[in-house]
Structure 1
Amino acid sequence: MKKYAYGVDIGGTTVKIGFFETTGKLVDTWEIPTRTENSGELILPDIAASIKENNEKHGIEMGDIEGVGMGVPGPIKDDGTVLKCVNLGWGVFNVAQSLSVLCGGIKVKAGNDANVAALGEMWQGGGKGHQDVVMITLGTGVGGGIIREGRIVAGVNGAGGEIGHMPMVDDESECCGCGKKGCLEQYASANGLVRVAERYIAAHRDVATKLDLNAGFTAKDVCDAAKAGDAAGIAAVEQSMKLLGKAMAAVACVMDPEVFVVGGGLSKAGSIIIDTAAKYYKEYAFHASRETEIKLATLGNSAGMYGGVKMVIG
């Protein structure tokens, strides 16, 4: 195996690029703007140019690189074909093959960004030491990634791990961003937690709470309130994490992972989130999977870069 590899995490605003030794050591990392104009036609050439510039900086050539692995915010087939990526302006094309050509024919692997981040957490993060991992990211939405025997489970259409769009509530009146109603994302994401808290306060006008509907509040405010014993904060966290725990129990019935790794901005609240979700997971889980470990992710925004490299080195 060659000494170096690149991990690339393509976001809607910036592209994170990591220069690694194939041992897993991160040598250097930087970001470039994601230029989405003209249907995103500049994104891959910009990545290739940045990689070539870094090679020159370190006195190496493309022949010294094992390959490039990248995470893309959209569904990706096993052969590297992206099935539309709206926030990048991309249609359907083979993103891995295209970047390989731009980089002189070196090996390029591509996957959905959440799946690639899960692979990174398995390799060098919260799931290290395990081969069967389910990662759940609690951010603006709810994402997920499934790793089975050390490899991404993407599914036929690249939709494997879309945990946030599991249907959880039948009588929901508002639509999720995906167009359905009652998705997990509507309750267990950062935005979802705020929404649950707002609904609870509106329905319990006599509750004593520091969360002010008129002034507005964030998911962090809700978690901080819950930690301080605020009744509305506690109720909102309980409702949101009950649905997350229930969803995890359903996932365990299918995947039976060694560990769940929970990341994303909302997970930074720590035990108030993890412990509450774990409590309900144990309540709903099939007895054989009841003791599955639930851990916090540790790589943060670097998980996608690590996962990209792991895709390349196998």
Structure 2
Amino acid sequence: MADKWIAGIDLGGTTTKIAFITNSGDIVHKWEIPTDNSNEGQNITSNIAKAIDEKLSQIGETKEKLMGIGMGAPGPVDYETGIILNVVNLGWKDNYPLKDSLEEATSLPAAVENDANCAALGEMWSGAGNGAKDLVCVTLGTGVGGGVIANGNIIQGTNGAAGEIGHITVIPSGGAPCNCGKTGCLETVASATGIVRLAEEAVKNSSSSSKLGEQFRITAKDVFDAARDNDQLAQKVLNEVSFHLGLALANIGNTLNPDKIVLGGGVSKAGDILLDSVKENFEKFAFPAVRNSTEIDIATLGNDAGVLGAAWLIKNKLNQ
């Protein structure tokens, strides 16, 4: 088994990332294909199987080279059965048997998990988690995802919905509506979309001049860049984001006392200006014993965290 590879899949709403990964966590080949969510998502797993076969024949290998396939998918997944419970943007009906469909299409043993959980496993295996057995990973992208690892295992919860950190309510009344149907979720203030919304509101309600007011379309990156240049309006937005994120992370820290909390996703690319501000709020709200033992770091694997975590899933399952 040692020289066999694992196929890791990170399934997204628009693209699907695929990688061949060694047993020790090195990526040998990686590429992506468009996600075809037409026709109730009927082509998704067959397209993945086809892409894997094509790549193997390109590099002169056979299916024998692969020991299994792991996948991270957006939405709550029942890990035991590999059924994805409900999916907003992939066309599948609720309770879709994703693991079975994947095994049938590829003729390989498969394991399926939520994509944010996979990113957490990836960081634990070969990223910022660096072997930490108690780890919380928060992905700040278009939305906010979370993965919680306790004693080396992903916390699933009773039906696979544990770790939905983006849906912790941070604004109990008068908060903005979230895609999940609630209002005032962390996702509405700490995702890229939420940061842009806060910035647009700040520009509209402010009489003072700001670089952000000159932008045709504000992005989250614009907000961080302007804050670095001491733009007061941008700093005000950054303070609001960091306050809510730092407070939520402190409450998670107080509940779980992890070795590390790792921030990933596109928004984490802001680096120290976000990290320092979040840490300051975390320290203000964390229980002293937690404050002194839990580190907050930026994820190191970027877009590779998902495929690596997906590969770890099946490696772990087959080695049990």
Instruction: Check whether TM > 0.5.
Output: yes
Task: Measure how far apart 1:214 and its partner are.
Answer: 7.5
Matched, 1:95 2:117: no
Task: Measure how far apart 1:101 and its partner are.
Answer: 2.2
Task: Measure how far apart 1:242 and its partner are.
Answer: 0.5
Aligned length, in residue pairs = 312
Question: Contact 2:175–2:185 (CA<8 Å) still a contact in 1?
Answer: no
Task: Measure how far apart 1:120 and its partner are.
Answer: 0.6
Identity of aligned residues (%): 44
Where 1:89 maps in the other structure, the secondary structure is: coil
Against the structure 1 CA distance between its residues 296 and 108, is the aligned structure 2 distance closer, same or farther, given a 3 Å change threshold? same
Aligned residue number for residue 155 of structure 2: 153
Distance 1:21 1:218 in 2: 37
Aligned residue number for residue 33 of structure 2: 32
Counterpart AA for 2:133: Q
1:296 paired residue among 295, 298, 312: 298
Matched, 1:261 2:262: yes
Q: Where do 1:84-123 residues align within 5 Å?
A: 84-91=86-93, 92-104=95-107, 106-123=108-125
2:199 paired residue among 187, 192, 197: 197
CA deviations over 1:154-183 (Å, ceiling 9, x no partner):
222221111111011122253111111111
CA deviations over 1:252-299 (Å, ceiling 9, x no partner):
122211101111111111111111011000000111110311111111
Deviating beyond 6 angstroms after TM superposition, the runs of 4 or more aligned structure 1 residues are none
CA deviations over 1:100-144 (Å, ceiling 9, x no partner):
12222x320000111111111111111122111111111111111
Q: Where do 1:41-80 residues align within 5 Å?
A: 41-79=42-80, 80=82
Where 2:29 maps in the other structure, the secondary structure is: strand
Distance 2:201 2:58 in 1: 54
Against the structure 1 CA distance between its residues 86 and 200, is the aligned structure 2 distance closer, same or farther, given a 3 Å change threshold? closer
Distance 2:175 2:290 in 1: 33
Question: Contact 1:115–1:154 (CA<8 Å) still a contact in 2?
Answer: no
- Please say which of residues 240-249 and 214-223 is displaced more in the overlay: 214-223
Against the structure 1 CA distance between its residues 157 and 94, is the aligned structure 2 distance closer, same or farther, given a 3 Å change threshold? same
Counterpart AA for 2:151: E
Distance 1:168 1:147 in 2: 23
User: Unpaired runs of 5+ in structure 1?
Assistant: none
Aligned residue number for residue 246 of structure 1: 247
Distance 1:296 1:25 in 2: 21
Task: Measure how far apart 1:213 and its partner are.
Answer: 7.0
CA deviations over 1:225-259 (Å, ceiling 9, x no partner):
11111111111100111000000011112221110
Distance 2:222 2:242 in 1: 16
Counterpart AA for 1:51: I
Where 1:88 maps in the other structure, the secondary structure is: coil
Distance 1:247 1:114 in 2: 17
- Please say which of residues 250-259 and 56-65 is displaced more in the overlay: 56-65
Distance 2:268 2:215 in 1: 26
**Root-mean-square deviation (Å):** 1.6
Against the structure 1 CA distance between its residues 189 and 61, is the aligned structure 2 distance closer, same or farther, given a 3 Å change threshold? same
CA deviations over 1:176-210 (Å, ceiling 9, x no partner):
111111111111111212222233344442x3422
Aligned residue number for residue 237 of structure 1: 238
Distance 1:174 1:311 in 2: 36
Q: Where do 1:117-196 residues align within 5 Å?
A: 117-196=119-198
Question: Contact 1:5–1:309 (CA<8 Å) still a contact in 2?
Answer: yes
Against the structure 1 CA distance between its residues 173 and 306, is the aligned structure 2 distance closer, same or farther, given a 3 Å change threshold? closer
